[in-house]
Structures are given as C-alpha cells and as structure tokens.
Chain A
Amino acid sequence: MTETPPAVEKVDPIAEAIDALLEKYPGAVSHDNRQGYEGVVVEASKLVEVATTIRDELGFDYLANACAVDYLDDGYFEMVYNAASIQAGGPPLSFKARTARDEAELPSLVGVWPGADFQEREAWDLMGIRFQGHPNLRRILMWEGFEGHPLRKDWKEPFYEEEAKPFSSRWPDGHQIRSEQKNPYGMNVQYPPGFAFEAYESEADPATYAGMGVTVQQEGLKTGRMIVNMGPHHPSTHGVFRMVLTLDGETIVELQPVMGYLHRNHEKIGERNTYLQNMPYTDRLDYITSMANNLAYAIAVEKLMGVEVPERAELIRVLMAELTRFVNHTWAIGFLLNDLGAFYTPALYVMNERELILDFFEATAGSRMMCNYMRFGGVFADLPERIGGVVHDDHERMRSYETMAFLEELIFERMPRFLDQFTDLLVQNEIVLTRTQGVGILPPDKAIAYSAAGPVLRASGVPYDLRRADPYSIYNEFDFDVAVRYNGDVYDRFLVRFDEMRESIRILQQVYPRLVATEGQPIFGGKRAYQVRVPPGESYGRHENPKGELSFYVVSNGTPNPWRYHIRSTSFINLTGLSEMCRGHKVADVVAILGSIDIILGEVDR
C-alpha cells in the first residue's frame, strides 16, 4: 500500500462489542485466547440469547458466515459465526460455540438469522452437528442415507491414501499407484458392514417430498396440488441444480432447492492439500470468475502469513478482479435473457467480449478459464509484452497485440461501447420489462436476514459492498460508487449488474495509468516458495466476488496443510432466499428469479 487511509477515530468497534458482551454475559462469554484467534467463545446454552444481543443491540445484523471446525485433538467441534454490521461496515465480529465430538449438538440460529439455514444444514451434513430447533435439518449436499459425516477429521474417503499431501508414494520417489487398484470393484466406493444391494433403498426422495404440502386433498375440485421437479437436468437451472416445486395450478406454493449434484468435496480435498495446491482448486469453484476466486483465497492466507503485497501486484489483482466482474455480469445478463426466452442471442454478444478478456487472461496466466494466477504475496507473473496466439502454419494470420495497447482499447473503448450497446438493446426492452418488473421481490430486511450478498443484496436497496464496507487490497484508493437499486425485483438485480459494470470500468480506467507508471516494479512480496510457512491461527478473508461475498475461512496449525479450509460460498447462501422469492409466482418466473440470483453450481455445491 502506498498511503494509509486517514484515521478517523481510534475506537475499535469489535473490541467495544466484545467488551459489551463480556459485561452482559459474564461467565457465558469469554475471549478466544488461542494464539492467532480472535473473537469470543460463547457457552452453547446461551448461544441464541447472545446472538440476539449481537444482532439487535450491538448492530452486527448480517451473518456473513457460519461454519464448523473439527478440533480432533481437543475433542470438540466449534461452530464459527461471523457477523458484520451493514450500517457501520468494518470487519465482522467472530463468535464461536463448542460442543463435544461424540454428542455434537448446538442450538440453531435460524430463528435469529434465517440465513443460517443452509449453512447449518451443511454443518450437519458434513460435520455431523445437530442443531436443535432447526426447522428442516436434513442433509444438503450428500444424500439421505449417506454413511458418516465426511468433513470430520477421522472420516476417510474410499480413495484415502494419506492424511496430507504431498503423499510419500508420489514425492520424492514418484511411484504412485492408481487408487482404483486397491479399492473393491475398482470404484470410488465403500460399503458399510452388512450392506446388501438387494435391500438397499434410496431414502432421498420421500424425505424431500415430505412437507411439500401435497397431502392436502381438496374435495370436489378437479385440480390438486402437484409436485414438479425442475432439474437436475434443466436448461435454465444453470447446471445441475434441482428445485422441487409444489404447484397449485401454475402458482408456486412451495419450493425446495435440492443441491449437491456437483458436490466435489472441495473442502475435504483442500484440507489434504498444501496451501498452494489449493489455488488451482479455487479456480474451479465459480468457474466464470476464477481470477477473483484466486484473489479471495490469497487474501485469506496472506492475512495469516502477514505478507506485504507490492503495489504493482495489487494493481494487477484489481485489474484481473474487475475484468472478471465484467465478464461475470455480462455472462449473468446474457443467460438471464436466455432464461427469459431470448435464446442464445444476447449470450452470443456477451461471448465476443468475454473472448477478448479471456485472451488477455490466457496470455498472462497461461489459461483461459482456470487461471491459477494469484500467489501469496503477489501474482504469478507480470503482464506479458504481447498478446497473441501460437502460429501453427505459415499461412495463418494470427493477431498479435501489444498488451498495454490491447488493454487500453479494451478498457477505454471496447468495454464502454459494448456496455452502451447492451444497455440500449436490453434495458428498455418491453419483454424484459414485462417479465422481470415486480417479480421475485426480496425486501431489504429479508435480504439482510437471509445473508444475501452481492448484486442480490444491493438490488434490494442495501448498499453493502465489501470493497467499500471492509476494504481489502487497494480498493480504498479508487474512486467508485457502490451500485444500488431499491425495488429488489428481478429487473433491479438485472440493472444493478449494469451499474456495477460501469463502476468496474471506472476502476479499470484508474488502474490503467498506474499500471503504466509502475511498469517493471516487483510483482511479488517476500520470497517465492512452493511450501509457504503459515503461522498457526484462524483467518477469515473477505472478498467481494462478482456474485457476492466469497470468503475463505482458514485454520492453520502450523503444518504445511490447512487444518480447516472453508469456503463461504455466495451462490450457496444466496439460494436461502429463493423459496421466499418464488412463492406465489408462476412456474415461468422461477427461471427468471433463479437467473437473476446468478448461481454457479461449482460454487453452490463445492
């Protein structure tokens, strides 16, 4: 950082809040004294009470994250909550509750923050903590009947080889064996003792359909309620997402999202990996915004390591993150229109622009989509001198540009022009207006309660953008506005993305001259190392991804592998409010509402 922001007041709101809690609940609340940890530990019996105080009296009204950590050696699970203040901004207050491993049970916070719903279900599914008072405590990513809770540290997957990478079979000798060779049937499966194929019956569907309100028999009426499954194979669910709808005629009575069809065990694999090995996996989270995902993970680990990032690296990071935001929002809009029936045409326009930005990514990072570009302390490589393809043939005319000229044209001409054209074509389009205005309304209080983030939150009239509210990187040095719209319907979520793209271009136009000025400066702080040294402690790195808050909660115990690697996935948590938004609308509106939330299944299911 070149300049420090002016210090307004010396009061630390977190410390103040902690003091207030300690005073109000002596005995039930205590400091988290472990080295590298922050926040408070709350007695489980008082958790709901303390959470209500935190929300109502202390003003931390937004539950950013809730995740479970398995402290195997100490014999307890810890549920970590991070609550932030929408009004005041700033870092979140972290509070924790512990429960014994063998009888894991905690009170549910769904009554305080409805946004905890899916996150608690996830903690039950993957970690096996029962939440008393949760209205619908079922597995969410795995299926009902799955044996065990996979994120527990003593749970071993079928292809288990060793506790942590690098595996001794592969490094340094390199005699790896294929996992299939040592597994029964050569498959990635385990059978519980006494398992019989013939007797097996999937428990998934009856559990899903229970409570969907179909048992109501309407005497004398010809129409009854019916259940419709949308997905997992449906062109408008943006991947393998499934919604179970109860319909009354065409009106939605109840909607239940079913996910996990792309649950590829990111967190379990991530806890076996070394810190750096996780970087390419973050690319595959939200695969449209891989550069921004890299940045989010780098921020979390850098916070633990305490490395300084040089200015040019920060500039390149912001450049990449904002270009990614542009790509993501164009793509989201293109596919929202796809769902509205403008089949493929807007998306084709979008792809043209995306290809250009991806060309730049490819030239810089080496890959179009899976960039794997950020490192702890900087970026992997400086911008290349030229952008161009590989020439296969003498006759082939390949385009080759100077990078900075290419960027200049892109940022100052092409992207604004495209945005203007797209705005002209779409924003006042009559079909778009009719299909989207007044549909899927999420009021501001509900948006906060459901922990919605990103454009979904800001379209509901809540100007909460982490780049402003809890600044990271060098965003506080740029001049931009937080895009906000006030109606909270599909149309406003659509418009807020246009606004954000404009702001992104504004940031990019400020980044460009500074990039030119910092030419040749270092892009890496500290020493480049394959195996980074991460001191013990916890870190919750927050980052405003194009889709909302993508944060990583990392617990280090000083070994080369993270002890806990949790992803606060914004697509996943934004879906908590989906059924609220859809109730009372027609089936055809569901795809519009889902399209306006803009989910990516890689991030929903992880």
Chain B
Amino acid sequence: MDSDEIRDPYDPNPVPPDLRNNVVLARMEDLVDVIYDWSRARSVWPMFFGLACCAIEMIATGGARYDQSRFGMEIMRPSPRQCDLLIVSGTVTKKMVGPIVRLYNQMAEPKYVLSMGACANGGGPFKEGYNVVDGIDKFIPVDVYVPGCPPTPGVAAWLYHAAQAHRGAVDPYCALVQAHPVGRGAGSRAGSRPHRPAPRAGDPSRGAEGHRSAAGRR
C-alpha cells in the first residue's frame, strides 16, 4: 500500500512506514479524547425502558440472533442515572410524555436519544389520536431516528450502531462512517469539534481501503 494513502494530514511527525505497526505518535490531549470516544462508543448503556410494540423488538435485538452485545451495548440499565442512551421505543402519549422528559433530565451527560419507530418519530398510525404526541422530538432532542413500524431488530441493530457514530467517536469500524465517509478535514461533522483522525495502532493494511472491504464483508 502506498504510504501517502494512510498519511495523516494532521500528523506533524509522520511515522516512517516500517514503524507503523509499532509506533503511535500523537499529542496527549488528542489521544485522550480519542481513547475516551472510542471506549464510549463501545460501551453504550441503553435504558431498559419499553413503551410499546417497538420495545419488544428492542428486547429481541438483545437476543442471540441480532445480538446487540457485539456493539458493546448489551447491558441495559433500568435506572436513568446509569444510562447514556434513551431509546424511545413506541407511542408517546400525553400522559407519558412528562415521565419521559423527566427520565431524560435524570440521565447524566453525555446522553443520547434514539427515537425508535414511526410513533416516536412522528405519531405513526396513532397520530390522529387525542392522547398521542406526534413525535418525541417536540420535547427532547433526538439524535437518531429509526424508521419502521416497528423497525426489525436488524434495522434497529444497524441504527444503534449509527447512534454510536453520532456521538462523535472516531471509529474506523463504524457502519455509518463507512456508508457515508465524512471528510477528514476540520468541521466536517455537524455540531462537533473538528474531526481528527485516530492514530492507528495495528495493521497498516487496515487503512481506508482495508476498512471499506471489512465493511463489505459484514
């Protein structure tokens, strides 16, 4: 592989190609951020909180076939204090929206919201009902919308992965990054600090090309 291809534009001290397997050069502050993001992306703690039909598929995502633990998010905690991902899985009613906002407020930062299914996204089939809220995003900020009624666990699992991407983690294996490669320049990711690529420790062949083919195998 051409060494230019994996050369890091931000790296003031490029590592000689023959040492790339063994040496990582980075500024300390960057490295801390990267490791922090990386580990956060791989240990999402969703809240064990089911609203309606989608909750069943959310639970099925934890089953053996769809296995969300491969994304490091098998531990669902019932307490909002221990969670960082709120999955709004189902129809939000006017009676329930208060408790949901309260749960969101009880979660510690950094926290993310995934709106699962048509009802949470915009009211869904029950939108015209007198007790139904047409979309949870009118009350709390939503990071990722998952379509479907209900989304199959496959879709849900894929988009949970997307939720990890959203949290600003630098993740060469992340599905969403592979599907929509963001530019490697400054400010490419909306609302986050300028993106800096992760120093890669490991096999140099797993450069940009390598990752793409890894995703293709998925």
Which A residues form the contact surface with B (CB < 8 A)?
141-143, 150, 157-161, 179-180, 187-189, 232-235, 238-240, 260-266, 268-269, 272, 280-281, 284, 287-288, 344, 347-348, 351-352, 354-355, 368-370, 393, 395, 601-602
Cβ contacts under 8 Å, A351 to chain B? 59-60, 63-65
In angstroms, Cα B133 to Cα A180, docked, is 11
Inter-chain CA distance A181–B216, complex, in Å, is 43
Given contacts A265-B132, A280-B125, contact A370 B95 (CB under 8 A): no
Q: Which residue of B lies closest to A202 (CB)?
A: B98
A150 to B132, CA, bound (A): 13
Give Cα A142 to B133, complex, Å.
14
**Would A235 and B78 count as touching, CB distance under 8 A?**
yes
In the complex formed, the residue of A with least CB distance to B102 is A233
Is there an interface contact between A272 and B128, defined as CB atoms closer than 8 Å? yes
Instruction: Please give, as numbers and ranges, the residues of chain A lying within 8 Å of B129 by CB-CB distance.
Output: 157, 159, 264-266, 268-269
Cα distance A123–B59 in the bound complex, in angstroms? 34
Partner of A269, one of B90, B126, B134: B126
User: Contact at A263–B53, with CB atoms within 8 Å?
Assistant: no
- B 198-218 contacts with A by CB, 8 A: 216-217
Interface flags, B124-144, vs A, CB<8A=1, else 0: 011111111110001000000
From B4-12, B44-52, B165-173, B188-196, the one touching the partner chain is: B44-52
Q: Determine whether B62 belongs to the interface, using a CB cutoff of 8 Å to chain A.
A: yes
Residues on B with beta carbons closer than 8 Å to the beta carbon of A189: 94
- A selection of 19 A-B contacts at a CB cut-off of 8 Å is A157-B129, A179-B127, A180-B134, A187-B138, A188-B94, A233-B78, A260-B131, A262-B91, A264-B52, A264-B129, A265-B130, A269-B129, A287-B56, A351-B60, A355-B63, A369-B56, A369-B57, A370-B150, A393-B216
The answer to whether B59 and A347 touch across the interface, beta carbons within 8 angstroms, is: yes
Residues of the B chain whose Cβ atoms lie less than 8 Å from the Cβ of A262 = 51-52, 90-91, 93, 96
In the assembled complex, how far is the CB of residue A93 from the closest CB belonging to chain B, in whole angstroms? 33
Q: What chain A residues lie within 8 Å of B62 (beta carbons)?
A: 344, 348
Q: Is B99 an interface residue (CB 8 A)?
A: yes
Assess the A370–B53 pair: CB atoms within 8 A.
yes
Q: How many A-B residue pairs have CB under 8 A?
A: 128
Q: Which residues of A contact B125 (CB under 8 A)?
A: 280-281, 284
**Shortest beta-carbon distance from A112 to chain B in Å:** 31
For the residues of B in contact with A, the DSSP-based class is loop
Interface residues of B in 50-78 (CB under 8 A from A): 50-53, 55-57, 59-60, 62-65, 78
A-side binding surface: helix, strand, loop or mixed? loop
Residues of A within 8 A of B52 (CB): 239, 262, 264, 284, 287, 601-602
CB distance from B118 to the nearest CB of A (A): 11
CB contacts (< 8 Å) of A370 on chain B: these are: 53, 149-150
Q: Quick one: closest A residue to B49, CB to CB?
A: A233
Most buried by A among B53, B56, B133, B150: B53
B residues contacting A by CB (< 8 A) are 48-53, 55-57, 59-60, 62-65, 78, 90-91, 93-96, 99, 103, 119, 123, 125-134, 138, 149-150, 152, 216-217
- CB contacts (< 8 Å) of A234 on chain B: these are 78
Chain B residues near A159: list those with CB within 8 A: 127-130, 134
> Which chain B residues border A395 with CB–CB below 8 Å?
217
Contact between B123 and A188 (Cβ–Cβ < 8 Å)?
A: yes
Give the chain A neighbours of B57 by CB distance below 8 A.
368-369
Q: Which 4 A-B pairs have the closest CB atoms?
A: A265-B129, A351-B63, A157-B130, A287-B53
Please, how many angstroms separate the alpha-carbon atoms of A471 and B52 in the complex?
Answer: 31
For A261, give its contact among B78, B96, B103 (CB under 8 Å).
Answer: B96
Q: Which residues of B contact A187 (CB under 8 A)?
A: 134, 138
On whether the beta carbons of A158 and B63 are closer than 8 Å, the reply is: no
CA distance A393 to B114 in the complex (A): 28
The residue from A239, A263, A269 contacting B95, defined by CB atoms under 8 A apart:
A263
Please indicate the chain A residues that have their CB under 8 angstroms from the CB of B123 in the complex: 188
Identify which of B51, B119, B128 contacts A240 (C-beta below 8 A): B51
A395 CB to nearest chain B CB (Å): 7
Closest partner residue, chain A, to B53 (CB atom): A287
The answer to whether B130 touches A158 (Cβ under 8 A) is yes
Shortest distance between the CB of B209 and any CB in chain A (Å): 18
Nearest-Cβ distance from residue A70 to partner chain B, whole angstroms: 16
Q: Could you tell me the distance between the alpha carbons of A551 and B96 in the complex, rounded to whole angstroms?
A: 27
